[in-house]
Structure 1
Amino acid sequence: MFRETSEITRRAMMLGALGAGSLVGLTACSASKPAAVPSDDVETDVVVHVIDNRYVPAEIDISAGTAVRWVFEGTAEHDVVAADGSFVSELITEGSYTHLFEEAGDFDYDCSVHPEMTGVVRVSAQ
């Protein structure tokens, strides 16, 4: 009887340790997403489609003062998260998000849940 109780206790301890280790591993792998930046309410000049784990087109060149609208058309949830945090959409499956680029520079972005989804907006001075 002691052996059975000891075996049960040992198994419970192992499962608890495995569960805690998994939780730590998941926590370490998750990057925190910056707070959402509200969509700009401006006329849109350029449209990027968000479908099937990709941005179409993934790279765009625009002039400062140009607005870009991302239109979400797929079945999975996606977002648009600038590497510098200057534009961050909510995680959505349909709808759109618009950002007005007022300054020159290269703005890399990705999807917070699908890091393989990447894009860049290259903004030149007017």
Structure 2
Amino acid sequence: MSITRHETATRMSRAVVHNNTVYLCGQVAKDRTADITGQTETMLAKVDDLLESVNSDRKNILSATVYVRDMKDFAAMNTVWDAWVPEGHAPARACVEARMASPELLVEVSVIAAVKA
């Protein structure tokens, strides 16, 4: 059994690969001062970067859990999400309203994806 941890700190690893599956920790926006659209865009860019670093991509996402601070932002977040997900490759997804670790955060996502064959 092989487990590979990437960008590991005391509390968590940003990505963990096991059995050709990658698990990403919760990703948040690069710019926490942006609106929901900007935060979603930069959050998903971080997901792209992490997936690429472990030989995966958004076409291989199996599951995603999106956390939004306020459901009033649901439609705007989905506009960005829908443009980002490749056609025909929508993962299983849940979206829940959640209190964030920092008040300026509007959105966070956790992702499970397959590693490319």
**Which band: TM-score by shorter chain?**
under 0.3
**Which has the larger helix fraction?**
2
Compute the TM-score of the two structures, normalised by the length of structure 2: 0.25
Q: Which has the higher contact order (CA 8 A, sep 6+)?
A: 2
Compute the TM-score of the two structures, normalised by the length of structure 1: 0.24
Higher-Rg structure is: 1
